[in-house]
Amino acid sequence: MASPAGALPVILLLLVVSCCRRISGAFPAADALRRVAPRAGGLCEQLLLPLRYPCTEHTVETKDGFLLSLQHIPYGKNKANDSTGPPVFLQHGLFQGGDTWFINSPEQSLGYILADNGFDVWIGNVRGTRWSKGHTTFSVHDKLFWDWSWQELAEYDLLAMLGYVYTVTQSKILYVGHSQGTIMGLAALTMPEIVKMISSAALLCPISYLDNVSARFVLRAVAMHFDQGKTVASIHQGLIIIWMIRKGTFAKYDYGLLGNLRHYGLLRPPAFDLSSIPESLPVWMGYGGLDALADVTDVQRTIKELRSTPELLYVGDYGHIDFVMSVKAKNDVYVDLIRFLRENGWHSSY
């Protein structure tokens, strides 16, 4: 069922844009995998446990001090403990959280469906979202808490969360992302320290290039250079990805000429090289004909830059939100997605 129009462009924007400027500094890599005590009253307690799904809360620290919440659903409510399959990691889009994967009924939501199909489900929650508002130094009221872009979500948040799951399970991970979760995923898969932990990747509404974005609010913000205004900080998560839209690039943060020389040794920020994603990595992509952000033309450009040929699922009447919120997504999308995950990560040892 295609998403209704009207307020949809604003909703779609919130699913891909990332927040304010950036934090810099070096931290020991080991810090990213340090576990701290989980807080009570999290997603498990509010959503999963009342429906009799096993669920535990975990917290990891990124190397720039953010405390991220993870949820672990090792099997479905009707499965035995010894039937747990391979770990699958679900990464939400922006201005959402891990609860995105449980928005509909257990029969209709991907998170429940994967657990009931025997997968070892892990839910990621990036910095600044409802479930991940902690930091070792700053509070959400501090400006520096929001001084980062989507690049840190890939290089710091995913590294910390996937590293934790990899360490706990001692197994390669099936990665599933939606919207900004695909931006993060594609960038992260160009990093050898992350891609070595991944057995396959499934991307719902994959985004890297945004040349053909048609959501009106996004285009208006680009024309106004809205991301340069101080109003961005007041809404906490702003429009940092809009430099990206204007320039038609999939690149690291642009500090300006002098800043780029300091950070990268280059006048312009380096691009994330999609051709560096290993050809041997199985990739699946699901995209829709009514998607105002992950436009078909931009998706095709992304596909051409990959060395491998991804498996594709095209749903002509699906918009950006439908892949996670449509009550028809189980039959339209998830059946094929689960087939892919089983064929590219489910080994005889599970």
- H-helix or E-strand containing 58? strand 56-61
Residue 179: active-site member: yes
Contact 266, 273 (CB under 8 A): no
**Alpha-carbon dihedral 230, 148, 102, 13, rounded to 10 degrees:** 40
Q: How far from 214 is each of 220, 245, 341, CA to CA, in Å?
A: 10, 11, 31
**Can 291 be counted among the known catalytic residues?**
yes
Q: How many angstroms separate the CA atoms of 113 and 107, rounded?
A: 6
Three-class DSSP category at 101: helix
Rounded Cα distance between 126 and 104, Å, is: 21
Q: Pick the catalytic residue: 3, 149, 179, 200?
A: 179
Q: Which one of 99, 291, 295, 332 is the catalytic residue?
A: 291
Give the residue among 49, 88, 51, 55 at the shortest CA–CA distance from 69. 55
The single residue of 64, 298, 320, 326 carrying the catalytic annotation is 320
Catalytically active residues are 179, 291, 320
